[in-house]
Each structure stands twice: as C-alpha cells, then as structure tokens.
Amino acid sequence: MASTQLTDEELFSQLKCFGFTPGPVTESTRPVYLKKLKKFREEQQQQRGKGRGSSTTTSSSSSTGASRPVRHDVRRLSSGRRPGLKSSVLGFSSDESDAEAPLKRKGLDHNKRANRNPHLQQQLKIKATAPPNEANKKLYGVGTALKSNSFPSPGGQTSPSLGWETGKRSRHDPESRDEDGSDEELQNSHSVNGRSAARLNTSQLAGEYSDSDEEEVGAPGGPDRDRRSLELRRICTTGPFPSHLDGRGSWVGRKNCAYNPLGNRSMLGGREGPEERVKKSDLDASGGSQSHMVPRKSVYGSLGEDHQSKSGENNHVNSEEGPFRFGAGLRPRFPGSGSPAPASRGGYPNHSPVPNHLYGQKKKLAAPEDELLLQFKREGPASSGSFSAHYLSMFLLTAACLFFLLLGLVYIRMRGSGSTGVDGAIKSHPFGSHFDSLYDQAEKDAILKLLLSLHDHLAVVAGHHDCGDQQFPNRSLSRDKVTEYLLAQNGEFKDFIDVALEWIIRASQDVGIRLTGRVADDPVTDVSEISWLESTHPRMPLGCRFRRALLTVMSKVALVAVAVGFIWSVVCYVKYRWRREEEETRQMYDLVERIIDVLRTHSEACQENRDLEPYLPIPHVRDSLVEVQDRKKMKKIWDRAVHYISSDESRIRTETQQIKGADFKVWRWIQPPLICDKSKGWQGKAFPLNRRNSPPNSLTPCLKIRNMFDPDMEVGDNWDLAIQEAILEKCSDNDGIVHISVDKSSKEGCVYVKCLSAEHSGKAFKALHGSWFDGKLVTVKYLRLDRYHQRFPQAQGCSTPLRASSLHQNITNTSPFLLQQGPPNASGFS
Amino acid sequence: MSSTSQKHKEFVAEPMGEKPVMALAGIGEVLGRKLEENGFDKAYVVLGQYLVLKKDEELFKDWLKDTCGANAKQQRDCYGCLKEWCDAFL
C-alpha cells in the first residue's frame, strides 16, 4: 500500500475515507495530500494498536524508514516537476536529481505503476518467504528490472518512468539498508574493513562505477541478479541517494563474495553497507563511506525530511527488513518523521544528534499524551474527594471564627467584670485587721455594704460619664449627692457614712474611690473636707465597653492595613514602571533593528543603483518605520533608538547632509559589503587518505565531487564560478584539470571535473576527497569517461589545464598560454 | 505597533494584481527565488495554490515548507497575509 502507486484519484478517495475532503489533487498539492494521508494512516494504526505481529513491528520499523524516504521522494519528485526549470545536464548514472527531471518529464504512467504494483507485491511476498538477502535482492531486482537500460538517459522513456515508481520504493530499501549497512559498518568496522578491503581488491577491475560495468562483471546469481543490480543503480538515480546507488552497483559486483547467504540480517546490512561503498564509480573505502554518512546526512539535512527519516531509521532499524516494509511500516514512522520534519527542515544539516532526537521525540510525543490522559482520568475521582474536603474546610473555618468570637466576648466580659471581683469578695477589704476588731459583724457588714454600693455607684457614674452619657455631666459626685444616694439605698447607712468615709481616708490602698476636697487635688485628711467623690475604677456599660474595644481593634487593624496597602502599592508601581521600561527598551531595540535593516537594504540598493544616495535622512527613516498614529507615542522610543544607534552601532554613521537645500541629519551605512559573499575556503582534511578509504589507484580521469555547496543556500550570481575557483585553487599543484562543471541544480552540491589523465584525477582525488570546504565534507568519486562525455560533450574537446585565475576562460582548445602539460607525476595513491 | 508587518499591510491593502511572489509577507528573496524556480513566480499563483488547498492552513503551510523551505514564522506570515487578502477581496 505504498503511496507511490496512488493515482490522483486513489489519493483523493483514500483521503475521503478518512473523512477529510481534499481539494483537487494536482501536481503541486499531491505531496501535501500524501503527507496528510500518511498522517491519517498512522493515526489509524495507532488507534488500532499493535494489531500486527511482532514481525510487523520489526519490519515496520524498517518499512517506515523506507516509507519516509518514499514520502519524501514522492514529494520531491512531484515538486520537482517544475514547469520552468529544466536541468541542463542529463541524468548521470549516479545523479538522482538529473535523472529525476527527465523521468518526471515523462510523466507518471499510472498503468505502468499499477503494473508495477502487483509485481512488487509479488516481490514482497516472495521476499517474505525468501531469506532476507534474497528478498532484498528481489526487491532491488524489481526496481532494477524496470530499468533495463543502462543509462538514465531520457531516451529510455518507459523504463525510467517505470523504474521511477518502483525505484522510489526500492530506493528506500537500499537506503535503509544503506543506513543499516552504515550502522553495522560503524559497529563492525573491523570486519567491514576487512571485507571492504577484500572487496576493493576484487572490485577494482570491475569498474563498478557504471551500470554497464556491472552487467559485464556478471553476477553469480544469474542474469536476474545482474539486472536487478543494474536496476538498483538505476533506481537509485532517481533518488537523492547516489551513495546508495553506488552501493548498489558495488553490491552487485560484490555478488561473488557477498551472496553467501548470511545467516543473520544484520550481516546483510553490514554487507550491504560496505558493498555500497564500493560502488560503481565511487570507490570510497569503508572510511569513505563512513564519512559518507556524515555528508550524506548533511545532504539530507538540506533535503529535509529525507534526512530525518533516514537518520531516524539509522537509529532503530537494525537492518531488519521484512515483508512489510512498505505497507505497514509506512504509518508508524510518520509521526516521528512528520513532526520533527518541519522542525529541522529549515535548519541546516543535523548530524548524528538528529536520529536520536527524532527517535526520542517520537517516543516523547506518545508519552506526554499518555500522561495527559492519565491525568485527566485521575481528575475525576479526585474531584469527589475534594468536594467533601471542601465542606470540611468550610466547617473548620466557621468553627474557628466562632471560637475566636466567643473568646473575644469572654475577654470583654472579663474586663468588664474584672472589677466585680470585689462583689464576691465582699468580705475582704483593704482596711486591715483593725477594722475587723473595731466593729462587730453587723456593723462591719453594713459599713462594707455601704462602701460597696458607694463604690459601685461612683463607678457607674464615672463609667457613664466616660462614655459620654449626658446624664452624668460630672464624673465625681458631691458629698451631698452621695449621702442622698446612700440613704436611698439603705437607711442604716446614715450612721456609717462618715465612718466609711473616714475609713476610706485611712485606707492605705486604693479602694476605688477617690476623695477630693474643695480644692481639687488636695489630699483629704479629714472627713469634713470631703466634698467630691470619684471612682477610680469606672465601670462602663457593656455596650460602651464593647464599642471601645472594637474601636481600638479596628483602628489598629486599619493602621496596619493602611501601612501594608501603602507598601504594596509602592511595589506595584515600581513593578509597573520597570515593566514599562522593559517594554520600551524592547521596542527600542526592535526599532533599532528595523532601522539597521532599512539602512542595509538601502545601501545594498545603492550598490546596484548608483543614482541613490548612500545615506538616509533620519526623519525619513522614522516616518517610514513608524506608523502615523504612533509617532507621538513612539517619540521617546525613537529618540532612544537614535541615541543608541549613534552611540552603539558602529556600522551606521550619523552625519549632516544637505538634501535639497535643507540640512538633515542622515544615517549612512558604512559596513562594506562582503565582496565575496562566500567565506568559502578549504578547511583541512577530515581523514587521511589511505588504502582503506580511497581506491589504491585512480581509475578514470573524471571525478564527481560531492557536497561542495548547497544550491538552496547559495546567493549571488557567480557562486558557481567561485566554486570552480576554489577547486582549482585546491588542486593548484595539479595541472591536469581540463573541465569543471558545477551542477547548480544538484541538491548534493555536485561538481564534475575532468582531468587530463587518470594520474591527474588521482591527484585531484587525493587533494579533494575528505576535505572540509565551507563547513561541508567533500567526497569524490570516479566517473566513467564515456559517461562524462555523454553528459558534458564539450568536455571531450578539452585538453588545456585550467588554472585558478583564468576561470572565465572558455573551455576550448584555444587557450595557448595555459598550455601546460606537465608530466604526470606520482600516480594516484599508494 | 500591530503584530503584522509592513509587507503584510501593503499586500492586503489592495488587489494583488501582478505583484511578484516576494511581495507576500514572509516571502523574502531566498524563498521567493525558490518559489519562482518551482513555477510560482507571481503572488497570484501562490494564491491559486492556497485556494486549491481549500484555504486549509495546515496544508498550505506544509506545501510552503516543502516547496521553498519556509520556516514556521514565514509560513505563518504568508498564510496570514493570503488569508486576510482573501477575506478582503475574494
């Protein structure tokens, strides 16, 4: 159920099955809808759970890896159908993008696709039964069978288009296998290296950098295998995985030693990995292929998802190919690829962290969702418990409040009744024992009662007076009034009033009654002098007392609240001001950046258009950047921005110019533009070239250099010339380069170089392979001469070595002063 | 300042006519060139694609990403720009 075979209608109907009504499926919308379909499928599969067997899971992992490239391939292919663009170079045998273009031009042949489908299904089934190697081979064979012609020229109309479909699919296989292979590689470096070395020896003669060579080499497995291997390579051309392609070729060539049925599948992967290395014209050794992984990855990075899918596969595909590679595997992989894909698409190549990240991300995606679900489930039961808890807390709160209220009341009452303690202890008096002895009980009682009532009365009076009760204008009572009151209380008191008063005077301690004479504050020593009686312990009515208490408390609380409020408001204000500050600063920086952008673009425009002045008046810049209604608001920020630029921005100079007769403060952008916008350069070698990672001797005079640039990232008009320049510089000691062609449309950054002889190309290979250029690892492989000439017919006539400085020379035979055919020095390697 | 850029406002202010694809918000030089390479040389062609995708946000953004490698912000800007233009003129 690979989506590669879907016709537009099928895609449309499949999408509708998921309840989604797509718009028209055209060539530009197809990839998007394919992605959507895959997402639906993956969701569906997730819902169905792990319905498939364990075999599926293992195979699905590999399949998904395959599927991801499928998707990408499909998309790429579709998007590659650019109406306007036409790759000028025909598909070289290992060139995916070039081969794709003509293939796409042929259009999708649905019928053929349909034909392929059953065939492939068959193959799949066969694969299921056959041992892994066989199955894989068959798979490859399927694709290869389609491309029976040995060269992906546009002439082979049918086969490319046929092969395209299956090729895509099988591409993944080889791809994933590649990944596995490389994985295995890294793990079994020794065995691999040994093997690759052996392979190298055997393959050298094979000339395995071309399809037809593979055919010639012959496969032990028979013509089928040959074809398959051929096709493999063919197929690979359609995909952006030339290295795989190469692997295919070498894999075929390897048949002799490789086709030993290897028991475990990992071996298969490992076998393929090294095999692929020794591919047709790409005699990268094991180290080279290892390094290939890196550049491949970077290439993939630029390719986007492709890269991710592969790297993802790298991680958890352990060369587990199974019968369900395509179908089942499609879905599970997509979440992993889909979600991280967008993330890294825009980014530049991620190398090894990406696979882990991808995989981990995919796992993480599932985990948080589950956690969320769990959380939501837990929420249900928790809520009922919290309900009762809520009531409980409310109850406790009210209980506490009531308690404190009671406490307060009791306290108040206590205060109020503190002085009534005297009531109960009427027997105890402050008059000393002498008092007791003087009078008998009845008299004592009477006196005491009198005193008590007097005291109480006076207290009430004083209390009322204190409370502001108008009934008692005076706090103290005159003696007459006291006498009146006491007599009214009890007739017996009459006799004892004076006695009581005298005792009060004699009392050593305060009895709660203050006696004052006629003249205030005079100590009273005699009864006769007493004229005013006053209570020192005023007893206020409860309401008054309560009120006073409340007032006190309230005032205190209010004071505290006011203080707190004040502090809090101060804090808020400070925070607000600080936030405002920050906001303004941010706006200012934003404005500054925009000003810089404006000035920079203006200066760039000035570069091209000499009529413009290289400076801009400040008010004009302001008016163009700030909205009309915002100008007043932004004035302060604008001023700050201006100030900032004049003080902190070194690339802008503030000066005064005369514009149309008026003086203006202007800004001039003074950063000189980068003359060569590429800080390109050679940055050393990644690995030493030895027997293991490069062919022992150079094979052909033609080289294909990969990963020199990224076509998406190049800006400027003559960057290809700069690339050529760089290559020539790097091989400046080599006077044998006669033709260079930068394939501008190649996603891999390919540059084709032809040298005078094999020795020269060997030297160039040595110089270039494995070097870092502009942060990318450059790899080189050999190409067949006839292929090269087919692709670059103009190179056939080149025989004059190119020099770095004379890049713009026409590559013809008529460049006399360049004639330098130095004898080939040391041969390639060894 | 509003959250839409100057480009957005300019684009949405009038019928797009024959404006180049780089007049779209979020589409600068590099992306514009890529879109042009893919055949979307005018803004109305991108509009066409947007309409063909039935004005679906996710699909359009995916398509944009696939075609020219736009990042999330650029996708957002372009989608928003076209959406608003359609709301105003379509």
pLDDT value for A52: 56
Q: Is the dihedral of CA A476, A480, A483, A485 positive or negative?
A: negative
Q: Which residues of A354-392 are buried (b: 16+ CB within 10 A; e: fewer)?
A: bbebbbebbeeeeeeeeeeeeeeeeeeeeeeeeeeeeee
- Does the distance separating the beta carbons of A627 and B1 come in below 8 Å? yes
B62 interfaces chain A, CB cutoff of 8 Å:
yes
| Range among A160-164, A533-537, A712-716, B28-32 with highest mean pLDDT value | B28-32
B49 interfaces chain A, CB cutoff of 8 Å:
yes
Determine the residue of chain B that is closest to A75 in CA distance: B66
Q: Per mean pLDDT, which range of A74-78, A805-809, B42-46 is the poorest?
A: A74-78
pLDDT value for A553: 94
Reported as a pLDDT band with limits 50, 70 and 90, residue A564 is very high
Reported pTM:
0.28
Residues A105-122: what's their mean pLDDT?
46
Residues A384-398: what's their mean pLDDT?
86
Determine the residue of chain B that is closest to A715 in CA distance: B30
| Range among A191-205, A380-394, A467-481, A593-607 with highest mean pLDDT value | A593-607
pLDDT value for A577: 96
Nearest to B66 among A32, A630, A712 (CB): A32
Nearest to A85 among B37, B71, B72 (CB): B37
Residue of A11, A32, A624 to mutate for B, most B C-beta atoms under 10 A: A32
Q: In this predicted model, what pLDDT tens digit does every residue of A547-563 receive, in sequence order?
A: 888 999 999 999 999 99
- Does the distance separating the beta carbons of B41 and A36 come in below 8 Å? no
Tell me the two tokens of residue B50: 């947007």
B-chain CB neighbours of A595 within 8 Å are none
Q: Where are the domains of chain B?
A: 6-89
Give the DSSP per-residue string, B25-71. TT--HHHHHHHHHTT--BHHHHHHHHHHTTT-HHHHHHHHHHHH---
Give residue A102's Cα distance to chain centre.
38
Nearest to A82 among B37, B62, B66 (CB): B37
Q: Which residue has the tokens 């950098």?
A: A209
- Does the distance separating the beta carbons of A85 and B38 come in below 8 Å? yes
Residues A303-321: what's their mean pLDDT?
43
Distance between B37 CA and the closest CA of chain A, angstroms: 6
Task: Indicate the DSSP class of residue A239.
Answer: T
Distance between B60 CA and the closest CA of chain A, angstroms: 8
A26 interfaces chain B, CB cutoff of 8 Å:
yes
Residues A65-73: what's their mean pLDDT?
44
Residue of A8, A25, A28 to mutate for B, most B C-beta atoms under 10 A: A28
Spell out the residues 6+ positions from residue A166 whose beta carbon is closer than 8 angstroms to its own.
A116, A119, A120, A142, A143, A146, A235
Rg of the Cα atoms in chain B = 12
- Does the distance separating the beta carbons of A36 and B59 come in below 8 Å? yes
Q: In this predicted model, what pLDDT tens digit does every residue of A788-826 receive, in sequence order?
A: 888 888 878 777 887 776 544 444 444 444 444 444 444
pLDDT value for A563: 97
- Does the distance separating the beta carbons of B30 and A304 come in below 8 Å? no
| Range among A338-342, A406-410, A459-463, A637-641 with highest mean pLDDT value | A406-410
B-chain CB neighbours of A8 within 8 Å are none
Q: Per mean pLDDT, which range of A376-380, A463-467, A637-641 is the poorest?
A: A376-380
Q: In this predicted model, what pLDDT tens digit does every residue of B48-59 receive, in sequence order?
A: 999 999 999 999
Determine the residue of chain B that is closest to A36 in CA distance: B59
Distance between A28 CA and the closest CA of chain B, angstroms: 8
B-chain CB neighbours of A587 within 8 Å are 1
A-chain CB neighbours of B63 within 8 Å are 28-29, 31-32
Cα–Cα dist A198/A39, whole Å: 45
A-chain CB neighbours of B41 within 8 Å are 84
Cα–Cα dist A192/A508, whole Å: 117
pLDDT value for A692: 72
**Which helix (H) or strand (E) element contains residue A704?**
strand A702-706
**Which helix (H) or strand (E) element contains residue B84?**
helix B72-89
* Cα–Cα distances in angstroms (integers) from residue A598 to residues A622, A669, B13, in the given order: 10, 10, 21
B59 interfaces chain A, CB cutoff of 8 Å:
yes
Reported as a pLDDT band with limits 50, 70 and 90, residue A8 is confident
Give residue A21's Cα distance to chain centre.
31
* Closest CA relative to residue B34, chosen from B79, B66, B80, B2: B66
Q: Are A68 and A335 in contact (CB under 8 A)?
A: no
Nearest to A32 among B36, B63, B71 (CB): B63
Q: So what CATH class is B6-89?
A: mainly alpha
B79 interfaces chain A, CB cutoff of 8 Å:
no
Above 60 in pLDDT, residue A130?
Answer: no
- Does the distance separating the beta carbons of A35 and B62 come in below 8 Å? yes
A300 interfaces chain B, CB cutoff of 8 Å:
no
Cα–Cα dist A109/A238, whole Å: 16
Tell me the two tokens of residue A447: 């006196």
Above 60 in pLDDT, residue A447?
Answer: yes
Distance between A32 CA and the closest CA of chain B, angstroms: 6
B28 interfaces chain A, CB cutoff of 8 Å:
no
B34 interfaces chain A, CB cutoff of 8 Å:
yes
Above 70 in pLDDT, residue A626?
Answer: yes
- Does the distance separating the beta carbons of B54 and A75 come in below 8 Å? no
- Does the distance separating the beta carbons of A304 and B69 come in below 8 Å? yes
pLDDT value for A435: 67
pLDDT value for A2: 53
